[in-house]
């Protein structure tokens, strides 16, 4: 995941980004997969809360569902724990390989380079990339599930995020949070010890977002907005989660 201050680039980018919202197709599968029915009791309840504005270091325990996706031992994307056995990430993170053994999930990390007694590294049993990813239109259905070999023990540092219901709607201008260990600007990587970053952005009206995603080629659909997407960003400061055409999944909390 890119950090809170990563700025977009390319034609029409002003800090607004498209986010895949295909979580709903996964919900029936996840409900059947819950091992003990306790996820709903603990999801979305971090030990540390409160409103913090702007891109900056995230407090420890504020985002206990934040995960790091490793490919061959290297951090490549952010992810989110959503159940004792399941982690969700973006489909575009798996274009190099669909072999579960190539990936690991880090949980309970605040600084990626400094694991603690709360940190866990999990192996992946099954990888499910959305079958329609990038087929009907650019970056469509950009979502993937990872099933872990072992169940995660929930702690104050490792808790699942809550899944949206089938009727959930995010009103325009709702506040959401972006989190991750990615680049802090278009040109600058996050420095050691790779502390988790956070920032607040707002939901942007899709029609307004389409203006910012206009392509120089009118026949191109590269920057098109569709029904399984929404936009979030800060048009005044440029805070966002995207670089060029790279689409990244984020942890969201509506306020």
The two tokens of residue 43 are: 């999801």
Asked if residue 179 has pLDDT above 70, the reply is yes
> How sure is the predictor about 214, in pLDDT bands with cuts at 50, 70 and 90?
low
Residue 181 placed within a domain? no
Please give the Cα distance from 116 to 33 (Å, whole number).
29
Count of structural domains within the chain: 1
Query: Could you read off the pLDDT of 15-53 as tens digits, one per residue?
Result: 333 333 334 344 444 444 444 446 778 888 887 665 444
Name the residue range of residue 29's domain: 23-43+64-148
**67 or 189, which is more confident?**
67
Asked if residue 198 has pLDDT above 50, the reply is yes
**106 or 176, which is more confident?**
106
Residue 98 placed within a domain? yes
Please give the Cα distance from 124 to 36 (Å, whole number).
20
Q: What is the CATH number of the domain that holds 129?
A: 2.40.10.10
Residue 210 placed within a domain? no
Q: Which whole number is the average pLDDT over 164-179?
A: 81
Are 181 and 75 in contact by the 8 Å Cβ rule? The answer is yes
3-state percent breakdown (helix, strand, coil) of the chain, nearest 5: 10, 30, 60
In terms of average pLDDT, the best of 124-138, 202-216, 236-250 is: 124-138
Residue 50 placed within a domain? no
Q: What is the pLDDT of residue 66?
A: 95
Are 121 and 173 in contact by the 8 Å Cβ rule? The answer is no
> How sure is the predictor about 235, in pLDDT bands with cuts at 50, 70 and 90?
low
Pairing mode, strands 103-107 and 66-71: antiparallel
Residue 186 placed within a domain? no
Q: What is the pLDDT of residue 240?
A: 52
Residue 165 placed within a domain? no
pTM to 2 decimal places: 0.74
* Averaged confidence pLDDT in the chain: 75
Residue 109 placed within a domain? yes
Classified as helix, coil or strand, 76 is strand
Query: Could you read off the pLDDT of 85-103 as tens digits, one per residue?
Result: 999 999 999 999 999 999 9
Please give the Cα distance from 210 to 206 (Å, whole number).
6
Query: Could you read off the pLDDT of 184-197 as tens digits, one per residue?
Result: 666 677 888 988 98
Strand runs (DSSP E) across 132-212, as ranges? Answer: 144-148, 175-180, 197-204
Q: What is the pLDDT of residue 49?
A: 60
């Amino acid at each position: 995941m890119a950090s809170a201050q990563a700025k977009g680039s390319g034609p029409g980018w002003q800090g607004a980004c498209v986010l895949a919202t295909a979580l709903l197709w996964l919900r029936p599968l996840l409900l059947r997969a819950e091992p003990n029915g306790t996820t709903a009791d603990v999801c979305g309840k971090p030990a540390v809360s409160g409103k913090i504005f702007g891109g900056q270091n995230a407090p420890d325990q504020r985002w206990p569902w934040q995960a790091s996706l490793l490919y061959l031992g290297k951090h490549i994307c952010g992810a989110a724990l959503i159940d004792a056995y399941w982690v969700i990430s973006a489909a575009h993170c798996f274009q190099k390989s669909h072999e579960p053994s190539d990936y690991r999930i880090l949980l309970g990390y605040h600084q990626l380079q400094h694991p603690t007694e709360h940190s866990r590294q999990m192996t992946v049993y099954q990888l499910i990339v959305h079958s329609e990813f990038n087929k009907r239109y650019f970056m469509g259905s950009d979502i993937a599930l990872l099933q872990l070999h072992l169940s995660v023990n929930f702690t104050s540092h490792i808790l699942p995020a809550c899944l949206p219901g089938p009727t959930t709607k995010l009103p325009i201008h709702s506040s959401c949070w972006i989190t991750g260990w990615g680049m802090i600007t278009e040109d600058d990587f996050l420095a050691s010890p790779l502390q988790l970053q956070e920032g607040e952005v707002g939901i942007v009206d899709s029609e307004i977002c389409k203006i910012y995603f206009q392509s120089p080629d009118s026949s191109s659909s590269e920057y098109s907005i569709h029904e399984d997407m929404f936009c979030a960003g800060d048009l005044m400061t440029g805070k966002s989660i995207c670089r060029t055409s790279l689409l990244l999944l984020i942890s969201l909390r509506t306020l």
